[in-house]
């Protein structure tokens, strides 16, 4: 939750944070709190801009701006340097997926690094982002934490400013520049791509680059790159005797277990089963 804890009066353990992902100017953690009605609340401080998705439990969130009841699916908002306290009058414990941003990173999202509200309630427009975060935490393939951090940060800042509508998709010129980015990825799917570098290449903010890329390609940059790599790997499995582990590493996957899991999610079978199926089809065609 991007917070610094002051030792509580009654010896209760402070919330425990488990890092999930991080990048230049952003990070994601799972924060688990075990405090209950018997524990005294104690003051903490947001060390960076914070958006925490409540995954389980309820608690009271207080700061100089007021107090809010946090419930599953709602967003707890915190500005860098803001003091706050949480208490659990109604039950023990909670769990959050906390996105933390440096003020400089948040500024690049064309968003103000200080929130006006303490909470965004569970609302329909944020449901897909919340569901993607929960799925990513559960290990679902095809999810980019960086893309989630950018989309969640920009959309939450818009809601905090009272903007209920999504921004308009960029015009034809921006779409053409994003199409050039798509072609760059297609020419070298095994390359390393930084989302903000791609956005700069298209002369768009990271958030508007994501929105425009989805409009042009129908999927996010991460999903596009992942599926392109998987499709090329699938062809290699059917046409080459190369070991699965070598194809996995040469396709840009860090390890074979991640490749196997992602391949199965995309094609419904493991890479080895896909290869065996191709061999059986080839023998059948030859006999026919």
Q: Is the domain covering 3-160 a CATH 2.60.120.10 domain?
A: yes
Class of domain 230-287: mainly alpha
Output the pLDDT for position 3.
43
Cα separation, 130 vs 44, in Å, equals 25
Contact assessment for residue 199 and residue 209, using Cβ atoms and an 8 Å cutoff: yes
- Position 283 confidence tier, pLDDT thresholds 50, 70, 90: low
> For the whole model, what pTM was predicted?
0.73
Contact assessment for residue 275 and residue 238, using Cβ atoms and an 8 Å cutoff: yes
Distances in Å between the alpha carbon of 215 and those of 16, 169, 170, 193? 39, 8, 9, 19
- What does the mean pLDDT of the chain come to? 84
Percent of the chain at pLDDT above 90?
A: 30
Extents of the domains making up the chain: 3-160, 172-218, 230-287
Q: Residue 68: which H helix or E strand, with range?
A: strand 66-70
Kindly tell me if the per-residue pLDDT of 100 is higher than 90. Answer: yes
Report, as an integer, the average pLDDT of 103-111.
84
Q: Per-residue pLDDT tens for 31-88?
A: 999 888 888 887 889 999 999 999 988 888 998 888 888 888 889 999 999 999 988 8
Is the Cα torsion angle 233, 237, 241, 242 positive or negative in sign? positive
Report, as an integer, the average pLDDT of 208-227.
86
Query: Identical fold at 3-160 and 230-287?
Result: no
Output the pLDDT for position 170.
62
Percent of the chain at pLDDT above 70?
A: 89
Q: Per-residue pLDDT tens for 139-161?
A: 877 678 999 999 999 999 989 88
Report, as an integer, the average pLDDT of 126-147.
85
Task: Tell me which of 111 and 216 has the higher pLDDT.
Answer: 216
Kindly tell me if the per-residue pLDDT of 1 is higher than 50. Answer: no
Report, as an integer, the average pLDDT of 241-257.
91
Kindly tell me if the per-residue pLDDT of 17 is higher than 80. Answer: yes
Kindly tell me if the per-residue pLDDT of 253 is higher than 90. Answer: no
Contact assessment for residue 198 and residue 181, using Cβ atoms and an 8 Å cutoff: yes
Task: Tell me which of 7 and 25 has the higher pLDDT.
Answer: 25
Q: Per-residue pLDDT tens for 150-195?
A: 999 999 998 988 854 455 556 778 888 988 888 888 888 888 888 8
- Position 284 confidence tier, pLDDT thresholds 50, 70, 90: very low
Cα separation, 53 vs 30, in Å, equals 10
Phi/psi for 24 (5° steps) reads -75, 100
Output the pLDDT for position 2.
47
């Amino acid at each position: 939750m991007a917070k610094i804890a002051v030792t509580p009066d009654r010896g209760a353990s402070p919330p425990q944070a488990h890092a999930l992902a991080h990048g230049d100017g952003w990070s994601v953690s799972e924060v688990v709190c075990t405090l209950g009605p018997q524990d005294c609340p104690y003051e903490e401080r947001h060390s960076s801009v914070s958006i925490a998705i409540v995954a389980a439990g309820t608690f009271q969130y207080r700061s100089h701006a007021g107090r809010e009841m946090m419930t599953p699916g709602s967003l707890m908002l915190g500005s860098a340097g803001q003091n706050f306290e949480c208490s659990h009058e109604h039950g023990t414990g909670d769990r959050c997926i906390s996105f933390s941003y440096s003020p400089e990173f948040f500024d690049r999202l064309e968003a103000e690094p200080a929130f006006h509200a303490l909470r965004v309630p569970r609302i329909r427009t944020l449901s897909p982002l919340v569901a993607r975060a929960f799925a990513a935490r559960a290990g679902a393939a095809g999810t980019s934490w960086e893309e989630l951090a950018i989309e969640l940060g920009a959309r939450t800042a818009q809601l905090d400013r009272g903007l209920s509508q999504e921004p308009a998709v960029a015009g034809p010129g921006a779409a053409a520049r994003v199409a050039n980015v798509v072609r760059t990825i297609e020419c070298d799917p095994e390359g390393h791509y930084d989302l903000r570098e791609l956005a700069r290449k298209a002369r768009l903010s990271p958030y508007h680059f994501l929105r425009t890329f989805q409009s042009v390609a129908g999927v996010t940059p991460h999903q596009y790159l992942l599926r392109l790599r998987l499709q090329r790997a699938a062809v290699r499995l059917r046409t080459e005797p190369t070991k699965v582990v070598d194809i996995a590493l040469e396709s840009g996957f860090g390890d074979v277990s991640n490749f196997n899991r992602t391949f199965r999610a995309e094609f419904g079978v493991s890479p080895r089963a896909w290869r065996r199926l191709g061999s059986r089809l080839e023998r059948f065609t030859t006999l026919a």
